[in-house]
Amino acid sequence: MYIIYFDESNKLDQPGINYSYYGTLGMEENMAKEIRKYLTDLNHTFNSSSEMHFVNYTQDTNFEKYFKVLNFILSQSIQLNIFIVNKLEAEQLTSEMVVSMEQLRELFYVKIPEQLFYGMTRDLLQGNFVKIVIDENSEYDKIGLESKIIEQMNAHSAYQKKAYKVVKDRQNIRKMICCYK
């Protein structure tokens, strides 16, 4: 099973931000288990159980933990895709399309993850199963993001004759691996 994690940072209509970031992390299920074990052990070593949010990283008190996590994850067999949206360009687009920022965000919430996921599934073998894990977010739930993405990804698989199948997250893992408690 191949697992793809999705999360975002900074909402387009959030005051004081210039960019919104969307990211996906993809890996085989056994690699995800190895990383979770490493993070659990590291939290034990640092006597910590807090989540790691880079937006909250403002001082060097946690430098060693963050560095070790990044170093370990980036040295593994993973795929990482990031998409950055410029807030000024998005605001201009809302004017040109005559839509609200909320409406534009909903469009982005479907299209951006879909594009990021396509890049990760390009080289999957036929018959592979893919599990998509999306961070908990009431906005995602409101627009049915998980169902839309699964439908779009399975349509893409069929259209491109890739024959992978996206399945619903049966284990209900709802946080990205880098934020594992």
pLDDT confidence band for 160 (50 / 70 / 90): confident
Residue with tokens 């060097």: 60
Residue 89 resides in a domain: yes
Residue 50 resides in a domain: yes
Are β-strands 19-28 and 165-167 bridged in parallel, bridged antiparallel, or unpaired?
unpaired
Residue 157 resides in a domain: yes
Report the pLDDT value the prediction gives residue 136, as an integer from 0 to 100.
81
Residue 30 resides in a domain: yes
CB count within 10 Å of CB 141 equals: 11
pLDDT confidence band for 176 (50 / 70 / 90): very low
pTM: 0.82
Residue 29 resides in a domain: yes
Residue 111 resides in a domain: yes
Cα–Cα distance, 105 to 11 (Å, whole number): 8
Cα–Cα distance, 137 to 40 (Å, whole number): 24
pLDDT tens digits for range 79-111: 999 999 999 999 999 999 999 988 998 889 888
Q: Which residues of 150-180 are buried (b: 16+ CB within 10 A; e: fewer)?
A: bebbbebbeeeebebebeeeeeeeeebbbeb
CB-based contact 8:23 (threshold 8 Å): yes
Report the pLDDT value the prediction gives residue 55, as an integer from 0 to 100.
62
Residue 63 resides in a domain: no
How large is the average pLDDT for residues 66-90? 92
CATH number of the CATH domain containing 130: 3.30.420.10
Range(s) of the domain holding residue 24? 2-55+71-179
Q: Which residue has the higher pLDDT, 25 or 49?
A: 25
Residue 62 resides in a domain: no
The rounded percent of the chain whose pLDDT value lies above 70 is: 86
CB-based contact 49:176 (threshold 8 Å): no
| Closest CA relative to residue 140, chosen from 150, 155, 131, 154 | 150
Q: How many domains does the chain have?
A: 1
